Amino acid sequence: MYPTAGFVRCPEHKLRELLNVYGVARIVYYLRKPAVVRDDEIEAIREFLQMAENKELITSGDEVEIICGLLENKSGKVLSVNDKAVMLYLEELGAKVCVRREEVNKVQKN
């Protein structure tokens, strides 16, 4: 899932043996104990990475389409982008709007 990380099910007393496996550099600890990642957390990571893989990088000047909400199917030009939101100019409405990043898709140019 992560290029440099792997998740294993292993009894705690066998963890040191994993360090003999080619490519294993270390074991992650939290509060001086081996980190435990629940199955639902691994699944959430998997889903997040899959969504991120399918998303294109959005930058200022790009044309995007809003894919949900009141402005669904409206497209606009990206004015700015931060970690959580995209500021758009919707020419059709003559307005600037701020939407969450996951609510837009980049318009493919032919």
For the chain, the C-alpha Rg in angstroms (whole number) is 21
Do residue 69 and residue 92 come from a single domain? Answer: yes
Task: Identify which has the larger pLDDT, 52 or 82.
Answer: 82
pLDDT tens across 46-72, in order? 877 776 665 678 889 999 999 998 999
Output the 3-class SS for 37-59: CCHHHHHHHHHHHHHHHHCCCCC
Do residue 44 and residue 21 come from a single domain? Answer: yes
Question: What CATH number does the domain containing 74 carry?
Answer: 2.30.30
Q: What is the pTM of this model?
A: 0.52
Proportion of the chain above pLDDT 70, given as a percent: 92
| Domain of 68, in residue numbers | 63-106
